[in-house]
Structure formats: structure tokens, C-alpha cells
Structure 1
Amino acid sequence: MEQFIDYLPLFIPILIIQLTLAIIALVHVLKHPNYRFGNKYFWIIIVLLVQIIGPVFYFILGRGDA
């Protein structure tokens, strides 16, 4: 338990970044109907289940033209 408390200052910013990316990507997936690859349900699963990398993949590979 002490090791976790020692690393807590490192985990908090990573958790905040992950939650922010996931929320922004999820809102974008839900609002926009066009995707370069996949469909809405595919990207919702990727964004929510693949932690930090999922939202990044969405913004690089999945986001279509507005």
C-alpha cells in the first residue's frame, strides 16, 4: 500500500488525462455521423475500453470530415 501512495502523484495526472481524452472522444463520436474507419458502436467500444490509446486512435484514424 505504501508503494501505491508513493506513486500517487504520478497516477493522478495520468488518470485526469485519460478521463479527459475519453470524454472528449466519446462526445465527438456521439455527435458526428461520419467516420473514416468503422462505425459509431465500434468507436464507442474502442474509446471506452482501450484506455489512453483508444481516444488517440479515434482522433488519428477514425474521425471523419465534419
Structure 2
Amino acid sequence: MNDVIEIVRMFIPLIVVQLLLMIVALIDLYRRNYVRGEKWVWVIIIIVINLLGPIAYFIFGRKKSNEY
């Protein structure tokens, strides 16, 4: 039982980072007028592809406001 608790403790920082990154990406997506692709697709990517989805959004999905 102690082994399970130790394993869970090891993953807590990763879970916290994942949740924070997901929340920040969703807030940024909500506030942005222009993104590459459809917003609903990015919501699915951010939520379903846990850690890599928000990172992909920040790298590929964000669009500058003067970029059309």
C-alpha cells in the first residue's frame, strides 16, 4: 500500500502542471478572436490529448490578431 501512495505522490506535480496548462490554454482560446482552425476542434485537442494538446495549441493554434 505504501508503494501505491509513493507512486501517486510522484505523479501529483505532473497532474498539477497538466491541469494548469489545460486551464490556461482553454482560457486563452476563449479570449482569442482568431485561431488557426476551428475553436471547437482545439477544445477537443486540448482536453483529450492531455499534456501535448495544450502545448500543440500554443505552438500551432494561436494566431496573431493581424494574421488572417
Structure 2 length-normalised TM: 0.85
1:33 aligns with 2:38: no
Runs of 4 or more above 4 Å deviation: none
Aligned to 2:5: 5
Q: CA RMSD in A?
A: 1.3
Residue equivalent to 1:22: 22
Q: Name stretches of at least 5 consecutive residues in structure 2 with no aligned partner.
A: none
Distance 1:43 1:11 in 2: 26
Counterpart of 1:23, as a letter, is I
Superposition deviation, residue 2 in structure 1: 4.3
**One-letter amino acid of the counterpart of residue 24, structure 1:** V
Deviates more, 1:53-62 or 1:26-35: 26-35
> What are the residue-to-residue correspondences of 1:36-51 with 2, within 5 Å?
37-51=36-50
Taking structure 1 as the reference length, what is the TM-score of the superposition? Answer: 0.87
